[in-house]
A and B are shown apart, each in its own frame.
Chain A
Amino acid sequence: MKTGAHRNHAHYWAFLLHRISGLLLALFLPAHFYVLGLSIESAAALDGFLNWTTSPLMKAAETALVILLAAHLTGGLRLLALEFIGTRESSKAAVAIGAGIAVCVGLLFLLNVA
Chain B
Amino acid sequence: MKNTIKVKVWRGNEEGRFEEFEVPRQPSQTVLDVVTYIQRNIDPTLSYRFACRVGVCGSCAMTVNGRPRWTCRTHVDKVAQDGTLEVSPLRNLTVVKDLACDMTDFFDKQNRAEGKFHPTKTRNDDFAYILPDDKQRKQAALGIECIGCGVCYSACDIVEWNKDYLGPAALNRAWTLINDVRDGGNKERLAAVAGDAGCHACHSQQGCVEHCPKHISPTRSIAGLKRATAMAALKGEI
Q: In the docked arrangement, what's the CA distance between A19 and B88, Å?
A: 30
The chain A residue sitting closest to B230, CB to CB, is: A83
Give chain A interface residues in 18-42, CB to chain B under 8 Å: 19
Task: Report the Cα distance A106→B227, complex, angstroms.
Answer: 34
Given A1-B18, A86-B223, A87-B220: A6 and B68 within 8 A (CB)? yes
Q: Which residues of A contact B66 (CB under 8 A)?
A: 2-6
A86 to B207: give the CA distance in the assembly, Å.
Answer: 16
CA of A1 to CA of B87 in the docked complex: distance in angstroms?
Answer: 10
* Number of interface residues, chain A, beta carbon within 8 A: 20
**In the complex, how many angstroms separate the beta carbon of B37 from the nearest chain A beta carbon?**
21
Bound form: Cα–Cα A5–B157 in Å: 12
Contacts of B67 in A (CB 8 A): 5-6
Bound form: Cα–Cα A78–B219 in Å? 13
In the complex, what's the smallest C-beta–C-beta distance from B217 to chain A, in angstroms? 5
Contacts of A82 in B (CB 8 A): 204, 219, 223
Interface residues of A in 81-108 (CB under 8 A from B): 82-84, 86-87
**A11:B206 contact, CB within 8 angstroms:** yes
Contact yes or no, B207 A83, CB < 8 A: no
B157-A7 in contact (CB<8A) = yes
Alpha-carbon gap, A87 to B203, bound state (A): 13
- Shortest CB-to-CB span from B164 to chain A, Å, is 20
> How many Å lie between the Cα of A82 and that of B207 in the bound state?
14
Closest to A4 in B: B66
Contacts A12-B157, A82-B223; is A6 near B211 (CB within 8 Å)? yes
B170 at the interface (CB under 8 A from A): no
Known: A1-B86, A5-B65, A12-B157. A83 touches B223 (CB 8 A): yes
Residue A109, interface by CB 8 Å = no
In the assembled complex, A110 has its CB within 8 A of some CB on chain B: no
Q: Say whether B207 contacts A9, CB under 8 Å.
A: yes
How many Å lie between the Cα of A7 and that of B203 in the bound state? 14
Pick the most buried of B66, B211, B220: most chain A CB atoms within 10 A of its CB.
B66
Cα A10 to Cα B157 in complex, Å, equals 14
Interface centre among B65, B157, B223, B227 (most CB of A within 10 A): B223
Question: Which listed residue, A3, A6, A78, A87, touches B155 by the CB 8 Å rule?
Answer: A6
Chain A residues with CB below 8 A from B203, complex form: 15, 19, 79
Query: A interface vs B, CB < 8 Å?
Result: 1-7, 9, 11-12, 14-15, 19, 78-79, 82-84, 86-87
Between A and B, 26 residue pairs with Cβ closer than 8 Å are A1-B18, A1-B86, A2-B66, A3-B66, A6-B67, A6-B68, A6-B207, A6-B210, A7-B157, A9-B210, A11-B204, A11-B205, A11-B207, A15-B203, A15-B205, A79-B203, A79-B204, A82-B219, A82-B223, A83-B204, A83-B226, A83-B227, A84-B223, A84-B227, A87-B217, A87-B223
- Which are the 3 A-B pairs with shortest beta-carbon distances? A5-B66, A2-B66, A11-B206
9 further A-B contacts with Cβ under 8 Å, apart from A1-B86, A2-B65, A14-B205, are A5-B65, A6-B67, A6-B207, A6-B210, A82-B223, A83-B226, A86-B220, A87-B209, A87-B223
